[in-house]
Structure 1
């Protein structure tokens, strides 16, 4: 009779290789020398105290074996489904009585051993179906060969298995506190603050651990394995097995995939080729974020969307073994965006609007009388803006505006308009907006493409300066103002003076030089000059030109600083 350990080793090979030919005598002797668990790491035997990762094809069962060499041994088997529910059961294989004793004679012939192996039966100890991380625990198990059978009926999937005969206190999975819930302590429009009680493995046992937070918009996860499987869908379809996973020709040959079969050529998460005439399936995206934060047990999640429900999971992982345990996850909906106040636009009246940096303002225009056309005048006095106009909820205009723009839209009986002004990232914006069903009467003054003021250096004296600016074909009123500034007048001060919405009414009377009307049908000749007198030698002056339209609305040209000569 052969020793029990040899019987267990041979039974593993025989039960796992019913489709193979019987081993030769030399192979048999080699297999009987299997003693340490490192040998079984790449075989269907689960090594004691090490978590293995493997893969299941749909509707194709897989078997693993685990040996307990002594009676009254504690036993724990944990199965972690990754991305789909699993069916699994654990049974104890009962050997024929003749195989359990020690014999002093020659080993039995291989044919007789084979007959005894195939006649071995099993007693089912535990079974489970679902996607939870589930364990079989026994404080006193008999010696023998344990068989773990797994099956996925939904799709190809990853899973993990951990088995050990060490006492419960020595298991490497981090422990959860008495209250394993994740709490939401603060809620904002784009942020959620989470808190949880520390793991006793870190706080009491002083074992090195770290926490990982997972955020997604679909559901809570029950294991980090499930998170990693979801993330892998977004990274790529894996055309080949990941290093370290339990894939080898031994698996395909022993578990239903003989050489050359379609299943043996198929890799994990690969899709069958599309049928002729059909597009290839699009790659699914996993909207999942995973952040590992060390040993902190408070974390604020940022960059979320307002008024959106999110699911939050926390996992504590051992820094040594990298095995993890899931807290009880939670979910929360971020707060809504603050409702924007809507200002009313009056027909033919100018409305001043201030838009914060990256902010927005909404204006409403509801003409009282019937109309065929509506004109919107938008004057971006300081900074550019994005202008959107919706008529009865339908987007009819979207434009980037800098300076003065006029938009003519077809009217519609009893139509209502919403104007949305969105600021830029550089700074705040100041605007004047006018909506009118009679645009010819309330138009803003027309402007040339170039609104700069030109100063002539050769005509500069100790008491005067000569400047010029462009006009248009429309007859408008131009007013020029001057203000003395010191030599330290900076570009920042100059930018503050560039608010084109500030009209002549904001200036002192003493700063006014003159006002005059000017236009020309020939745009090439639409230029005027003016000599400003009464200046002091060696002084700097800020010059501004305002053009005033028929409705009294004014627009300021770009400011110009000139300096008189010190000696003449």
Structure 2
């Protein structure tokens, strides 16, 4: 056996090896392996320098003499392909993640004597481009090469010289199928998929030979969802049954319909609906995490490889788990459904999917949209400028609430709203504008004044919250109401401190009486009415009896009065022309151009019999 030269690093060739001796290459190998750390002693470094070259030479000699070395390179089973290779299985639905602007390639071959084939691609939630090509290798690989697996074959065909023929292409967002004869000289088929809009996914199904496609359910000729009836809280839908469902015997559970309801838009596939649910849950979790911690949680983007989308997201949950509150979601093979518990006056989008329970595939009908009816509301009656309106209110459900609209005149957009309760002890008034409540307060026995300003229109809601006690002389229990734009001050007008009327005994005669009452600092008109009582008649206390319901013969006096000092705002009036010894009821009204006239409390006075 020849001896090696430690300086040159030459190694005797193996038996039968026709390759030339590679002294330079072995010298570089020895030089790299013979490096010794500087901190070792010179003796140790010399010893290791003698041992390491001989060990490296033995390994290299074994590698060169191994049968794995073929034509100056390692055998293909130890080679890493330059491109990822994915084989498309036959008769199985294959999910394919599609990162944006990245082409995915799937390879497949057909069995011998296969005449026809079909490829079905179902996009998820975005339009995709896909094409089918057949590649023929000009010179097939040598049969002497023993491949350890079929995974390396497309790499060899792709790198080798050959021709490629394009068989089919499609761009869109609906399920599409290519059906045609096999490409006879083809060595391998290449399916390319690409999404230019966003990251998405698709499902692919390969079938060899003739026959109906059993992977995806069939849609009818009319795949639309029809709206049968619409209510305030429910919508009834119907659709033409799927041919796949009709082919099955009764009470079979191979297919079922799923109805999805949402307020955003229709979905083109069941996968798109599930992806929307995932994104919504991710957003909710992200918002929750940002509220809990100050530092944002970094996403492990380095683990997100281009073909690991399904592993990261996990399998999609069925719709009945995502929407447990929706009725008719995946409820069987009935083609009529009523979705209830909806919100009135709301627009909803309805989608119907027919699902193959065994394969986990689905087909989407053309969805529809419907708006539920709004709730029944009482009619809104316009309230005229300065109009005195009697509003009947009952607590038995009839006329329990009424709505009025009022538009003030003038550029100031201001008005004075006055109300007086007449036999409705639990009445409430609420004033709003464009959905915003401006004022809300009870309406009692006293006159209520509400100043309105700054809005072009107002909605007035009167409501009775209890039983009504009808007032004497009034047609029925209710509220007097008036709105006027003639009052331009920035606050409601002042009312008298008290509405009592006084009479003076010393100033009472046989044919006249003297009355006194408090006024206000504003110039106002006061009118006095009288009514003679019959023998034995009692005067009724009716605070809602206004001057509009009094006879002109009962009015005896009207006078203007104003006193800037409220403590001295007392006015008097002497009423003559009376009969001796007769009883009279006197009423005083504060007359205003705006608002309801204010009625003082009635006063009964009897004249003297003898003077």
Using the size of structure 2 for normalisation, the TM-score is 0.49
CA distance, structure 2, for counterparts of residue 237 and residue 190 of structure 1: 29
Contact 1:376 1:406 in 2 (8 A): yes
CA distance, structure 2, for counterparts of residue 47 and residue 112 of structure 1: 15
CA distance, structure 2, for counterparts of residue 429 and residue 82 of structure 1: 64
2:404 to 360, 363, 388: 363
1:54 aligns with 2:92: no
Contact 1:75 1:137 in 2 (8 A): yes
- Residue 161 of structure 1 is matched in structure 2 by 204
1:227 aligns with 2:265: no
Larger Rg over CA atoms:
2
Question: Where does 1:263-342 land on structure 2 (aligned, <5 Å)?
Answer: 264=305, 291-306=329-344, 308-335=346-373, 338=376, 340-342=378-380
1:66 to 108, 118, 121: 108
Contact 1:384 1:402 in 2 (8 A): yes
2:109 aligns to what SS in structure 1? strand
- Residue 64 of structure 2 is matched in structure 1 by none
1:204 aligns with 2:242: no
Cα deviation, 1:328-365, whole Å, max 9, x if unaligned, reads 333344445556412466647453166969x9742235
2:331 aligns to what SS in structure 1? strand
Cα deviation, 1:288-328, whole Å, max 9, x if unaligned, reads 97922222110122344555554332111112122112223
Cα deviation, 1:57-111, whole Å, max 9, x if unaligned, reads 2112211122212233432222222121111111112123434x9x5x5659999
- CA distance 1:107–1:320, shift in 2 (3 Å): closer
2:392 to 351, 354, 362: 351
1:420 aligns with 2:458: no
- CA distance 1:150–1:403, shift in 2 (3 Å): farther
- CA distance 1:343–1:51, shift in 2 (3 Å): same
1:185 aligns with 2:228: yes
CA distance, structure 1, for counterparts of residue 452 and residue 75 of structure 2: 96
Contact 1:380 1:402 in 2 (8 A): no
Cα deviation, 1:434-470, whole Å, max 9, x if unaligned, reads 5356898899x9xxxxxxxxxxxxxxxxxxxxxxxxx
Supply the RMSD in Å over aligned alpha carbons.
5.4
TM superposition shift of 1:202: 2.2
Q: How many residues align?
A: 375
TM superposition shift of 1:224: 1.0
Cα deviation, 1:244-300, whole Å, max 9, x if unaligned, reads xxxxxxxxxxxxxxx99797499869xxxxxxxxxxxxxxxx9x9792222211012
- CA distance 1:383–1:376, shift in 2 (3 Å): closer
- CA distance 1:72–1:362, shift in 2 (3 Å): same
CA distance, structure 1, for counterparts of residue 370 and residue 246 of structure 2: 28
- Residue 558 of structure 1 is matched in structure 2 by none
Which is bigger in relative contact order (C-alpha 8 A, separation at least 6)?
1
- Residue 190 of structure 2 is matched in structure 1 by 147
1:138 aligns with 2:184: no
Cα deviation, 1:29-71, whole Å, max 9, x if unaligned, reads 999xxxxxxxxxx972222222222322211221112221223
Of Structure 1 and Structure 2, which has the larger fraction of its residues in strand? 1
2:260 to 206, 214, 217: 214
Unaligned runs of at least 5 residues, structure 1: 1-21, 32-41, 241-258, 270-285, 446-502, 504-548, 553-568
CA distance, structure 2, for counterparts of residue 127 and residue 325 of structure 1: 21
CA distance, structure 1, for counterparts of residue 267 and residue 93 of structure 2: 20
TM superposition shift of 1:175: 2.0
TM superposition shift of 1:368: 9.5
CA distance, structure 1, for counterparts of residue 145 and residue 458 of structure 2: 99
- CA distance 1:350–1:320, shift in 2 (3 Å): same
Contact 1:353 1:433 in 2 (8 A): no
Unaligned runs of at least 5 residues, structure 2: 1-71, 287-299, 311-322, 470-476, 484-491, 500-542, 544-597, 602-611
CA distance, structure 1, for counterparts of residue 283 and residue 303 of structure 2: 18
CA distance, structure 1, for counterparts of residue 113 and residue 157 of structure 2: 22
Question: Where does 1:218-257 land on structure 2 (aligned, <5 Å)?
Answer: 218-237=264-283
Contact 1:83 1:158 in 2 (8 A): yes
